[in-house]
Structure 1
Amino acid sequence: MLYARLQTVSVIQDRDEGEIAERGLMKIVPGHPGFAGLWLMEAVEDTAGGALLTLWRTEEDARLASARTEEKRPGPRPVSLFNDRIYEVEGRFEGPDAARPPGAAVIVYFDGAHDDDWIASARYAHDKRIVPVMRRVPGMIGGFALWSPDQRDGAVFTLAVSLEALARAEKAVNSTELLPGENPALLTGPDRAVVHRVSGYVGAPV
């Protein structure tokens, strides 16, 4: 199993300082034990904010990553974190352009806590209806389903070659019909979705 650490910032006060910090992270973080991938992102609707998603081989490595970074880069954190969460990577998929570099990403949040019926319904819809469609959309790279068993909430992280490809995927998914047995009352949809431009990544595109 992989673990994902998702860190978001609401404001970057100094753009130049933020870019310097990003370059530093891309050099330091991949050297940590258990590292498995990194994506740096900047929100489209609020270009002052951003996100960092990293993948780790163990939950301990995910939790220790910040402390290990501070050991190699002493001094105060250059940006203030808005949120910092660790998830289990419950599933991943590859799109038709999995080998191409990512240019855009969307993080879709499902805030908890959800009951067992909702969770089962969401997993079924994602795996059986949504992912098969996204696997066929040109420009889709792939993504991860993230889950927190403690908070009983999750997120879906999806990568594409461009914002236009993300828009095509959204349209395709919204055009799907429910599968037999799906209960519309349980398909409440995401609490929010944040679209980003990918400013850098380390490791495979997905």
Structure 2
Amino acid sequence: MYATLEVQADQLTVTLSGEHRDGSHTVLHDVAGPAGGTSPAAANVLHFDGPATEAALAAADFAYRERIAPAFRAAPGAVRSLVLFDPVRRATVVVSTAVDAAALEALGQAIGGQELLPGEDVALLPGPDRVSFHPVAQVVEPS
């Protein structure tokens, strides 16, 4: 699956598609939270600009699968989390949606307060280059 992101008037539109288009990202992870299936009202977007090394990509994938996704699945009000990869720039974007801004804030605190797992190397897990918060205009699913 592929995704394109568009921000207009500070509203975020995520378009998911079964086919690659110019400027689209590959969806690496698509995780539903406890409010999955609910229309999201708020999103945070974390940009990891890259270019990331293979070791950093592997470390981020492990951290997402083993720590972050389980926390997302347990977070009240969490709707959906997408990890998107741009293979040209070797950059990653994480889009997390929730029923409201308060749920996003609580999610961020829960994830930010986590201890690293044994074997994780903080040097391979830099924080995002940019973080932005948006009201969600729409999520367009593939037809």
So what's the TM-score if we normalise by structure 1? 0.65
Does 1:163 find its partner at 2:107? no
Task: Show structure 1 runs of 4+ deviating over 6 A.
Answer: none
In the TM superposition, residue 8 of structure 1 has moved relative to its aligned partner by: 3.0
1:192 to 122, 130, 134: 130
Across the aligned residues of Structure 1 and Structure 2, the Cα RMSD in angstroms comes to 1.6
In the TM superposition, residue 53 of structure 1 has moved relative to its aligned partner by: 1.6
Instruction: Name the amino acid aligned to 2:134.
Output: H
Does 1:138 find its partner at 2:73? no
Hey, what does 1:29 align to over in structure 2? none
**Structure with the larger strand share:** 2
Rounded Cα–Cα distance in structure 1 between residues aligned with 2:75 and 2:25: 27
1:31-70 matched pairs, under 5 angstroms: 48-59=9-20, 62-63=21-22
Hey, what does 2:5 align to over in structure 1? 6
Higher mean alpha-carbon deviation, 193-202 vs 128-137, is at: 193-202
CA contact (8 A) 2:15 2:140 kept: no
In the TM superposition, residue 49 of structure 1 has moved relative to its aligned partner by: 3.0
Rounded Cα–Cα distance in structure 2 between residues aligned with 1:53 and 1:202: 6
In the TM superposition, residue 86 of structure 1 has moved relative to its aligned partner by: 1.2
For structure 2, the 5+ residue unaligned runs are none
Instruction: Name the amino acid aligned to 2:133.
Output: V
In the TM superposition, residue 203 of structure 1 has moved relative to its aligned partner by: 4.5
Q: 1:89 to 1:203 in 2, by over 3 A?
A: closer
For structure 1, the 5+ residue unaligned runs are 10-47, 64-84
The higher relative CO (CA closer than 8 Å, separation ≥ 6) is in 2
So what's the TM-score if we normalise by structure 2? 0.92
In the TM superposition, residue 202 of structure 1 has moved relative to its aligned partner by: 4.3
Rounded Cα–Cα distance in structure 2 between residues aligned with 1:3 and 1:120: 20
1:72-111 matched pairs, under 5 angstroms: 85-111=23-49
Deviation readout 1:9-36 (Å, 9 max, x if unpaired): 4xxxxxxxxxxxxxxxxxxxxxxxxxxx
In the TM superposition, residue 105 of structure 1 has moved relative to its aligned partner by: 0.7
Aligned-pair identity in percent equals: 35
Q: How many residues align?
A: 142
Rounded Cα–Cα distance in structure 2 between residues aligned with 1:175 and 1:199: 30
**Structure with the larger helix share:** 1
Rounded Cα–Cα distance in structure 2 between residues aligned with 1:198 and 1:5: 14
Query: Rg: which structure is higher?
Result: 1
Rounded Cα–Cα distance in structure 2 between residues aligned with 1:203 and 1:49: 21
CA contact (8 A) 2:4 2:16 kept: yes
